[in-house]
Amino acid sequence: MPSKQKKFPCFWCFAAPVGLYNSCLRMLNMRCLSIVFDLDETLIVANTMKSFEDRIEVLRVWIAQSIMDPMRVSGMYAEMKRYIDDRLLLKQYIESDVVMDNGKTYKVQLEEVLGLSDGHERLVRPVIRLPEKNIVLTRINSEIRDTSVLVRLRPAWEDLRSYLTAKGRKRFEVYVCTMAERDCALEMWRLLDLEAHLIASKQLSDRVVCVKSGK
């Protein structure tokens, strides 16, 4: 761009991470965009027994000390009831691998976890799905019941996933960035992309990025 004070051209230079130019060039050549998804409280809301108890206690304190309008207090009561109901489902799952909901009994189904590489050990997880509520109960470590998690999937996720995986020319490269621990992050993404259409299993190690809070 020309200098405003002097009549000779000047140039801006920027330092970019190694490989960024080639990555962008590849996307331009493929006419393909990158999408980076955040998992935490966006695509999914995951809770353990401990986090349910913490959330319920916070709401109880807020309600007890509240001088807010009745409508907002009513909303907090509804939110607390949802947490209590969900905690009961998770408690049943932890204790018996079975949950009762609206008179229906749901038992665990063993779901295979696709390996990150050809030599990766085959894993299965005990999972209960309540599709009408967009709820999934899973276990981060299949052998340890205390790692059980109740996951709520965002209702519009299936519509978005269908759009991203529509037949025809590939238009998007999908990545995930999350503050969750790696094993948890991989399981949360597996629940969202069960058939690995958005991110192939061999690409997961590069495309699911876990960061620390504040980074």
Name the token pair of 28: 């331009």
pLDDT band at 117 (very low <50, low <70, confident <90, very high): low
Q: Is the pLDDT of residue 68 over 80?
A: no
CA–CA distance, 21 with 145 (Å, rounded to integer): 45
Report the share of the chain in percent with pLDDT over 90. 58
Q: Is the pLDDT of residue 214 over 70?
A: no
Which stretches of the chain are DSSP H helices?
20-30, 49-65, 70-96, 157-164, 182-192, 204-207
What is the average pLDDT across 127-147? 95
Q: Is the pLDDT of residue 106 over 90?
A: yes
pLDDT of 98 reads: 97
Residue indicated by tokens 């690409």: 203
DSSP state of 121: P
pLDDT of 176 reads: 95
pLDDT of 145 reads: 96
Residue pair 178/185 in contact by the 8 Å Cβ criterion: yes
- As a 3-state breakdown, the chain gives helix, strand, coil percent values, each rounded to 5, of 40, 25, 35
Taking alpha carbons only, the member of 35, 29, 33, 40 closest to residue 161 is 35
What is the average pLDDT across 134-156? 95
Taking alpha carbons only, the member of 11, 60, 43 closest to residue 134 is 43
pLDDT band at 24 (very low <50, low <70, confident <90, very high): confident
Mean pLDDT score of the chain: 88
CA–CA distance, 18 with 189 (Å, rounded to integer): 27
Least confident of 96-100, 161-165, 188-192: 161-165
CA 66 to chain centre: 32
- Residues in contact with 87: Cβ distance below 8 Å, sequence separation at least 6, in sequence order: 47, 49, 52, 53, 56, 150
Report the share of the chain in percent with pLDDT over 70. 91
Residue pair 149/135 in contact by the 8 Å Cβ criterion: no
What is the average pLDDT across 131-158? 95
What is the average pLDDT across 58-73? 85
Query: Would the CA dihedral through 181, 186, 187, 193 be positive or negative?
Result: positive
Q: Higher pLDDT residue, 67 or 38?
A: 38
pLDDT of 135 reads: 97
Query: Would the CA dihedral through 205, 211, 212, 215 be positive or negative?
Result: positive
Residue indicated by tokens 């909303």: 75
Domain ranges of the chain: 32-48+98-165+172-210
